[in-house]
Amino acid sequence: MHRLSRVPVITIAKVRGRARGGGNELALACDMTFASRENAIFGQFECGTGALPGAGGIQHLTRRLGRTRAMEAVAGADDFAADLAERYGWINRALPDAELDGFVERLAKRIDGFPPEGVQAAKRLINDLTPAEPAHIRSDAATFQALITLPETRERLDHLAHRGLQRAEEVERDLGKAVGEFRR
């Protein structure tokens, strides 16, 4: 995902559903993210299982949200509606669902109509100031790999899988709530 943020073209994520865990980290790796006000949900649920985001979530969210809001998002492991994600700086804009496609298409065509050298230079210089170092993301990934093998983490992940993680609508709809309800 780090390479995605470094490609010489502008990348835009359009989120109309749930972007949690790796899906959220993919959106964070893009240059811009726009979301459906009515339907988009963002989150990093991993701390609720005993792990942590391992593909850049901590790095990107801390840079975008600041320390305290990143702590809320990552350690709190809850879901964030598009309007709150926009207010926190997680995404560029939350738009009415009916306007999302048209807005993103107009923006992409506008950028595509500009001389590519200027757009590429702007992205390169902005990237010189903002993205995480690859070593930091690799460190997060190594920590994630270590945490995912811990017995309590496995127990929590197994519990969520048994409840239907990534299959059952009620678990996916309220994953932030589900990770907070685990009881031994």
Annotated catalytic residues are 25, 46
Angle, helices 67-76/57-65, rounded to nearest 10 degrees: 140
User: Which tokens in the block code for residue 36?
Assistant: 């459906």
d(CA 22, CA 44): 8
d(CA 149, CA 171): 23
d(CA 26, CA 10): 14
CB 131 within 8 A of CB 2: yes
If one counts every other C-beta atom within 10 angstroms of the C-beta of residue 127, the result is: 12
d(CA 131, CA 4): 11
Helix (H, G, I), strand (E, B) or coil at 98: helix
C-alpha torsion angle, residues 52, 11, 87, 56 (rounded to 10): 10
